[in-house]
Amino acid sequence: MLFVACPMTHPANFRFELLATDDGSSARRSRLTTPRGVIELPTFMPVGTLGTVKGLTIDQVASTGAEILLGNTYHLALRPGEDTVAKLGGLHRMMGWDKPILTDSGGFQVFSLAQMTRVTEEGAVFKSHIDGSRLELTPERSIAIQEALGSDIAMVFDHVVALPNEYSLIREACERSIRWARRCQQAASLPEQIQFAIVQGGLDEQMRIWCAEELAKLEFPGYAIGGLSVGEPPEEMYRILDATCPALPADRPRYLMGVGRPIDLLEGIRRGVDMFDCVMPTRNGRNALAFTDEGPLRLRNAVHRTDRQPLQEGCPCLACKHSRGYIRHLFAAGEMLGPILLSHHNLTYYQTLMRESRQAIEMGRFDEYYRGKLDRWG
């Protein structure tokens, strides 16, 4: 285990410290201090797209061990609107969450949800997926919305394209994303908010490295890896992480966007990723799937009908106070408590993975921890 004195001070009392690295992998134990609290890294950010983590109260979310949440610029700008959020005291006060919040820029949602999107150098013009109304999102507009929301970390507006795709289109989107990142930097006016840049480049290793190096020249306080987990095989994602992470500044946090499965979290950590987000734990929870150390449990299956075991021995979540049989009954009866309990369990399980990963890195034994989890998951 190597302890590294590597503090980096950012505007408005943001501070990143690289505390330790693992002996057998590229895993990092670090800490991001913000005006609203400390985030121990590696971390998983529950997704609160519309100002709520689906199905859970904010106190229940906090009880899972979460230290930072994610909100979304695109969705909140459409409903209820950033002006409404601002009049309600900002996203933190509206939600009742006093810890840090990261807001995604909306770039991915413009790509995945909006109808009839047209991208130019200025920005993206699209039709709302809600009512078809015409809207425009530019780098400057994205930052203005995020400042109105009052998030602690704002993501730059990037150009996301489908994969696989033509090399020329991926290159064009990658270069545009760098230019847009610079415009986001220039548009910033909120001292208590920092920005993370987003590395694009599809599945091309050299383009990813080039993009990371170009963005590093702009001295952002943090860097994300975007445009992955969009249907490519996991091995391809890992290959891109192998190439991209070493090209990112070691003294800044690294965020893998929209990932994912428990195995993907550990694979990302062992390659040097610090931050993750995904809807998977809550979405699967609402659909009767629980993550455990023995692999996923599908609670609708009849095998659980009279099972008295908890989902996971020793788990402190709300669901594990009950039996698998009881939780199966809740789903079979259409009771709303079932999705609530499994959402709370899955988020708790993800936070437990993060906490155990941090401890393993501190002891220089993350690779051993990783292999032990893989053996149990099968």
Q: What is the mean pLDDT of residues 222-230?
A: 92
Q: What is the pLDDT of residue 4?
A: 47
Q: pTM for the whole thing?
A: 0.95
In a domain, 337, yes or no: no
Active site annotation includes 375 = no
- 2: number of Cβ within 10 Å: 10
Q: 104, 158, 264, 274: which is the annotated catalytic residue? A: 104
Q: What is the pLDDT of residue 1?
A: 55
pLDDT bracket for residue 378 (50, 70, 90):
confident
Q: What is the pLDDT of residue 163?
A: 82
Which residue, chain included where needed, has tokens 């609203």? 36
Count the domains in the chain: 1
In a domain, 226, yes or no: yes
Q: 23, 264, 277, 367: which is the annotated catalytic residue? A: 277
Helix 337-362 vs helix 366-377: crossing angle, to nearest 10: 140
Q: What is the mean pLDDT of residues 67-91?
A: 96
Active site annotation includes 293 = no
Q: What is the mean pLDDT of residues 124-144?
A: 89
Residue 94's CATH number: 3.20.20.105
Residue 144 dihedral angles phi and psi, to the nearest 5°: -60, -40
Q: What is the pLDDT of residue 114?
A: 62
In a domain, 190, yes or no: yes
Tell which residue, 76, 64, 81, has the closest CA to residue 102: 76
CA distance 320 to 339: 13
| Structural domain of 262 | 2-278
Tell which residue, 11, 25, 5, has the closest CA to residue 366: 25
Q: What is the mean pLDDT of residues 184-205?
A: 96
Q: What is the mean pLDDT of residues 182-186?
A: 98
In a domain, 81, yes or no: yes
Contacts of 66 (CB under 8 A, 6+ apart): 44, 45, 46, 99, 347, 351
Q: What is the pLDDT of residue 135?
A: 85
Tell which residue, 243, 246, 247, 268, has the closest CA to residue 257: 268
Q: What is the mean pLDDT of residues 49-71?
A: 97
In a domain, 312, yes or no: no
